[in-house]
Amino acid sequence: MATADPEVVDITLRTLQVSGSATCVAVLIGVPVGTLLAHTRFFGRGLVVSLVNFGMGLPPVVVGLATWLCLTRHGPLGFLGLLYTPAAMVIAQAVIAAPIVAGFTIAAIQSVNPKLRLQLLALGVDRRQYLWLLLREARLGILAAVIAGFGGVVSEVGASIMVGGNVRGETRVLTTATVLEVSKGNFEMAAALSVILLFLSFGITACLTFLQQRGKQP
């Protein structure tokens, strides 16, 4: 990065693109699902929440295999031609992160004081206003969900290799490039890529943490 090596810059930017897109998709899915599960009661809810919590620990290679089977030429989504593209990596990583975001969102909303919920309803707010105010009250936990989701995808290797193929100039990201360099015995390059990944992860996490803790310092 210091010498502006084109390949390293390309890999770093692609890592940001893929992991950032996957995190956004996971948030768009996980926050509404988590809000629904935390706020409503229905038959089988306990089972659904258990599945969400189970999904938080899904092995990435299993997600990668399932995504590969769906996107392969003879799979149900094979006609899209997404296998071994960044889009396939975004899908796999979003599947990994969505349960993490949903699980943290459930915990965040359920931690809101029940008296506050009753107070909001007593003020006569409509359902949309109620949900917005509830999400604002739980924003610290929801931002923690975003941080956890991003951490889950930016460090992922197995699923990215399976559905992306680690193609040079196309689907190679920092984690898969590091694995490749280690397999080639090029440990100096692998260490350099790892340092870049650490700084990238810390930078994004620090920005999200700033948003989370702004005005909340003791």
Quote the DSSP letter at residue 85: S
Q: CA-CA distance, 176 to 155, in Å (whole number)?
A: 10
pLDDT tens digits for range 13-50? 999 999 999 999 999 999 999 988 988 888 888 899 99
Q: Out of 26-35, 114-123, 156-165, 204-213, which region has the weakest mean confidence (pLDDT)?
A: 114-123
**Chain length of the chain:** 218
Q: What is the structure's pLDDT at 87?
A: 94
Domains of the chain: 6-212 (1.10.3720.10)
Q: What is the structure's pLDDT at 163?
A: 93
The pTM assigned to this predicted structure is 0.88
